[in-house]
Structure 1
Amino acid sequence: MTEHMNKQAAQLPAFRPVRPSARLAVGGLLLAGAAWGVRAAWEFRLFLAGEPASGPPDQGEGVHRPLNALENSYHAVSSLAGGAVVVCGLLFVSWLWLLRDNARALSGQPPRYLGIWVILGWFFPIVSFWFPRGIVVDAFRAGEPGRKVPLSVEVWWGLWLIGMVSGVGIVARDTTDELIARAYTEVWPLLASDAAVIGAAVAGVFAVLAVSRSQEARIRAARAVPSAGAVGTPAPA
C-alpha cells in the first residue's frame, strides 16, 4: 500500500508555492501605490505654490532655468516613484509566471500565451491592452473552465489601462520638467491619472489575493484526490 501511495504521489504534477510570491507582489503593489500617492501630493504642492515669475523650468529652444527647491524635490519624488513601479513590476511578473506554471500543471494543457508574453506583453503596442489580463484570467480558470473572474481583476485592469493611456500616468509622454509646468497650470488631469494608478495598485492587491487563494485551493484539491483514492486501496495479499 505504501508503494502504491508513493507511485500516486510521484504522478502528481510539480506545483510551486503560491503564497510567498503573492505576498511579494502585494508588497510591491502597496509600495508603488504609496510612492505614486506621494508623487500626486507633490504635484498638488506645485499647484498651490503657483508658477514662479520666471516661468516654467523648460522655457523652450533648449533653455532651462535653475529649478527651485520644490521643483528639485519633485524630480527626486518622481524618480523614487518610477523606481517603486519597476520593483513592483518585477515582483508582479514573477508572481504571474509562477501562476502560469501552476495553471499549466493543473490543466495539463499548454498555456494560450507563450512565456515570453508574460514580460513583453506589457510593452508591445496593441497586445499590451489585453495580453497581461488574459494571462491572469487563463491562470485563474485553469482546472475550472468558465468560472467567473473576480471583480477585482477587472477593476485592476481597467484602472491600469486608464493610467497607461492617459499619457500622464505610468507611461508619461512628458518630461519631468513638462509635468511640473502642467502641475502649475492644469493639475487636475494629472491628479486624475495619479488616482487611476493608485486605484490600480489597490485593486491589484485584491486581485492577486483572490487569484492566488483560488489557485491554492485548486492545488490542495488536486493533491487530495490521489490521497483519497489511496485510502480505499486494499493492500496486496
Structure 2
Amino acid sequence: MNDDLTKTAPHPVRGLSRCVTAALALAGAAWLARAVWHIRLATAGEPLSGPPDQGDGKHRTLTSLEDSYHLVSALGDVATVLCALAFLAWLLRIRDNARARSGQRPRYAWPWVYAGWVVPIANLWVPRGIVAEAHRAGDPEAPLPRVLNWWWGLWLVGSLSGAGLMYSDSTDAVIARAYTDVVPLLVSDAAVVGAAVTCVLLVRAVADKQERAGGEESRRRAAEPGVVDGATS
C-alpha cells in the first residue's frame, strides 16, 4: 500500500474485477428497485393524512407501500456499501499494479484512493484521475476508454442530485418528495443505475488492459537470455 519504488510484481486483477462487477450489478439493481418504488409512490399519491413526517417530531403510521419503501431503501444502502468496499479494493489494486509496471511514483498518494471520494472539490476529479493513471501505466499516450467519462459524469449527477448517493435527508423526507416532485428523484436514480452499468464496462476495460500488459511482460521476460520457465539459469 505504500508508495516506495521498490520493484514488485503486478497482482492479478481478473478475479477482483469479477467481484466488483457482481457488486455493481447488485447495487444497480437495488437503485432500479428504488426508482420503481418512487414511481409507485408518485402514482399512489400522498394520503389524506399528509406526509409521514408530520413535523414537531410527530410521525404518522406508515402505509404498506411506504413501509416497503423503507425496506427497499435499506437494502439499497447495504448493496451500495458492499459495492463501495469492492470498488475501493479494486481501485487500490489497479493503482498498485500501475506503480509496479511503470516504476514511477503515482500522481496521487494511496490515501487519496479513499479520501478522494469525500474531500470537497477534490472529489470532482481525483477518483477519475486515479483510474486514468492506472489505465495509462507504462503507456502515457494510450487513449482513455470513452466509458471513463460517461461513468464519471453519471456518477457526479447521481451523487450530487435528487436523492442520490450523497443525499442526507431521511427516508420519510424522500417519500414526501416522491409524492410532490418525483422527477428529480428519478433523474438521480437513472444516473446511479447508468453509473453502475458504465462502471462495469470501465472495470472490464481497465482489467483487460492490465492483464494484456502483464501477459506481454511475462512473454518478454521469458524470451530474455538466461531465463528458463520464469527462473534465471
Normalised by the size of structure 2, how large is the TM-score? Answer: 0.92
Deviation at 1:36, TM superposition (A): 0.5
* Aligned ranges 1:148-167 → 2 under 5 Å: 148-167=143-162
Query: Can you list the C-alpha shifts for 1:192-212, whole angstroms capped at 9, x where unaligned?
Result: 110000000000000000011
Q: CA deviation at 1:109?
A: 0.4
Deviation at residue 29 of structure 1 after TM alignment: 0.6
The structure-2 alpha-carbon separation of the partners of 1:165 and 1:28, relative to structure 1 and needing over 3 Å to count, comes to: same
Is residue 97 of structure 2 the alignment partner of residue 97 of structure 1?
Answer: no
Give the TM-score normalised by the residue count of structure 1. 0.90
* Cα pair 1:12 1:223 within 8 Å, conserved: no
For structure 1, the residue ranges without an aligned partner over 5 or more in a row are 1-10
Contact 2:30–2:75, Cα closer than 8 Å, also in 1: yes
Q: Partner residue of 2:180? A: 185
Question: What is the alpha-carbon distance in structure 1 between the residues aligned to residue 58 and residue 41 of structure 2?
Answer: 21
Which of the numbers 56, 77, 84 marks the counterpart of 1:61? 56
Q: Which moves more between the two structures, 199-208 or 63-72?
A: 63-72
Q: Residues 26 and 205 of structure 1 are in contact (CA less than 8 Å); yes or no, is this contact kept in structure 2?
A: yes
Greater Rg by CA: 1
In 2, the alpha carbon distance for the partners of 1:22 and 1:48 equals 39
Q: 1:42 to 1:102 in 2, by over 3 A?
A: same
Residues paired across the two proteins, number: 223
User: What do residues 32-62 of structure 1 show as CA deviations (whole Å, max 9, x unaligned)?
Assistant: 0000000110111111111000000112222
1:1-237 matched pairs, under 5 angstroms: 13-230=8-225
**Matches of 2:189 and 2:68, distance apart in 1:** 18
Q: Is the 8 A contact 1:162 1:196 kept in 2?
A: yes
TM-superposition CA deviations, 1:89-143 (whole Å, max 9, x none)? 0000111111011100110001111111111211111111111111100000000
Quote the sequence identity (%).
Answer: 52
| Larger helix fraction of residues | 1
Aligned pair in 2 of structure 1 residues 119, 59: CA closer, same or farther (>3 Å)?
same
CA RMSD in angstroms comes to 1.6
